[in-house]
Amino acid sequence: MKDYYAYRRFTGKAEFEKVFNTLIGLIEGIVIDARINEVELGFLQTWLDAQRARARKHPFNEIVPLLDQAIADGVLSSGGKEDILWLCKRLTASEYLDAVTADIQRLHSLVAAIGSDGHVSVDELCGLADWLLENEHLKTCWPYDEIESIVSGVLEDGKIDPAEHAMLMAFFGEFVSLLDSRTVVSSRVKEGAAVVGLCAVGPEIRFPDSVFCMTGSSHRYSRQDFAAVIADRGGTAVGGVSKRVHYLVIGADGNPCWAYACYGRKVERAVELRKEGHPIVLVHESDFHEAVADL
């Protein structure tokens, strides 16, 4: 049984909020350049199909028919967009998730929608830059600063060259998996003037006297198994991220209870500590398995 099952009953309302904040971001991202293509509509259809099982329950019995009608002819009109956004914003409130969390969820799905068709245009980046300017209250919240830095850098010369486009797709692609909570791996963190990868690439992991923490769901270890593996190799496993933690291991299966689609608060806290100069290493689960096997 997944570790998160025991407490998922406490996060049901938060998950509900996330579903609709995600939809708001998807709609905003899809129409951000005033053009919609078949791939982007297909991305929206994927979200819609994932809600079919609960389509008879309120409030999905309101939003699903509205979406079906809005995209029935293969387009999303401005009127249809406004109807959907109006209903979503009526359905979401700050009762369970604060405004910053809701807006970060929108940002995640917005960049996912922009990258969903495999192409990022100057118009889309300009629209994203405008959105960032209108939501400056998100500054210091990862990944707002990173996205702002990358977008402003690319738009400086008014064009997107092939290397920049590849970098944008690698970044935005981390947020495309909105439905299965796949964990974020290689998205970016701004450290000083540089934007670097979130998870270390080929990290050197030392077990003796090191403190480890795990977040997300592992396909191989329960929390107890993880702690035992660490202890057998001379390290210590803890439940929370703090300045004493050397390694945060990110489970490959993610976690549907996370407030965000592809990472949770432990990752967010680790990013904050790195920005403050604490040398915590974020390790993807696959690299952790390799380190264990090498001993």
- Per residue in 248-258, pLDDT tens? 998 776 655 45
Shared domain for 113 and 245, answered yes or no, is no
Which band of pLDDT confidence, cut at 50, 70 and 90, is reported for residue 196? low
27: pLDDT strictly greater than 70: yes
Q: From 138, 159, 179, give the residue that closes a domain.
A: 179
Shared domain for 150 and 218, answered yes or no, is no
| Residue 162, pLDDT score | 94
Alpha helices in the chain (DSSP H): 5-8, 12-30, 38-50, 60-70, 78-91, 99-115, 122-134, 144-155, 162-173, 223-232, 265-275, 285-294
Q: What is the domain-level CATH number for residue 231?
A: 3.40.50.10190
Give the structural domain span for 143. 5-179
Residue 229, in any domain of the structure = yes
| Most distant CA pair in the chain, distance | 61
Q: Which two tokens stand for residue 110?
A: 């917005």
Residue 220 to residue 237: CA distance in whole angstroms: 16
Residue 199, in any domain of the structure = no
The alpha-carbon radius of gyration of the chain (Å, integer) is 20
Residue 286, in any domain of the structure = yes
7: pLDDT strictly greater than 60: no
Q: From 179, 200, 233, give the residue that closes a domain.
A: 179
Residue 201, in any domain of the structure = no
Shared domain for 75 and 158, answered yes or no, is yes
pLDDT in tens, 47-87: 888 888 877 776 777 778 878 878 877 777 777 787 788 77
Shared domain for 157 and 261, answered yes or no, is no
Closest CA to 65 of 74, 52, 77, 75: 52
Which band of pLDDT confidence, cut at 50, 70 and 90, is reported for residue 174? confident
Shared domain for 23 and 80, answered yes or no, is yes
Beta pairing, strands 281-284 & 247-250: parallel
Residue 135 to residue 132: CA distance in whole angstroms: 5
Residue 185, in any domain of the structure = no
